[in-house]
């Protein structure tokens, strides 16, 4: 995922996924998730695979959260949210919900289109500031 400067279309930041074929960048959203007044970047990888305790590989999906600082973005070391449902495709959609519970932080919805019996569901995790 590449972020471009709006005035001259020059690349500012480049974000890369950790696995090939995980569809890193399938869903992207910008929102202030920690209440600092700066938009943060959330990037979905719905085909992310993880190893189970038994050594089996399963597709669960993942969302990467890059927090913006006053001096800009840091492409390395994002916070991550990983799905739990096999073939759930967690991270297939990401949406900002605004401050629904009036706690001073924006909520978000992460789509998991393959979660349970072919019905799309999602989660709204509570993220620490």
CA distance linking residue 73 with residue 75, whole number of Å = 6
Q: What is the pLDDT of residues 5-32, one digit of tens each?
A: 999 999 999 999 999 999 999 999 999 9
Residue 62: pLDDT over 80: yes
Residue 115: pLDDT over 80: no
Could you give the C-alpha distances from 96 to 12, 17, 71, 90, in angstroms and in order?
23, 22, 23, 16
Sheet harboring 107-112: ordered strands across?
90-98, 107-112, 121-123
What mean pLDDT comes out for the span 104-115? 85
Which parts of 57-128 are beta strand (E)?
A: 57-59, 62-66, 79-82, 90-98, 107-112, 121-123
CA distance linking residue 64 with residue 25, whole number of Å = 10
What mean pLDDT comes out for the span 32-41? 91
| Six token digits for residue 65 | 């959260």
Task: Please tell me the predicted confidence (pLDDT) of residue 72.
Answer: 84
CA distance linking residue 109 with residue 129, whole number of Å = 17
Q: What is the pLDDT of residues 72-108, one digit of tens each?
A: 887 778 999 999 999 999 999 999 998 888 888 888 9
Band of pLDDT at residue 129, cut at 50, 70 and 90: very low
Using left for φ > 0, alpha for ψ between -120 and 50, and beta otherwise, residue 41 falls in beta
Band of pLDDT at residue 116, cut at 50, 70 and 90: low
Using left for φ > 0, alpha for ψ between -120 and 50, and beta otherwise, residue 104 falls in left
- pLDDT, greater one: 89 or 128: 89
| Six token digits for residue 99 | 């401050």
């Amino acid at each position: 995922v590449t972020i471009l400067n709006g005035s001259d279309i020059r690349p500012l930041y480049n974000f890369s996924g950790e696995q090939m074929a995980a569809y890193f960048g399938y869903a992207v959203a910008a929102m202030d998730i920690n209440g600092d007044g700066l938009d943060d970047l959330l990037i979905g990888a719905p085909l992310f695979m993880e190893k189970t305790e038994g050594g089996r590989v399963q597709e669960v999906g993942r969302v990467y959260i890059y927090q913006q600082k006053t001096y800009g973005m840091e492409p390395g070391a994002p916070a991550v949210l990983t799905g739990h449902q096999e073939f759930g495709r967690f991270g297939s959609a990401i949406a900002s919900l605004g401050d629904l519970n009036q706690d001073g932080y924006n909520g978000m919805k992460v789509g998991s289109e393959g979660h349970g019996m072919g019905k799309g569901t999602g989660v709204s995790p509570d993220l620490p500031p």
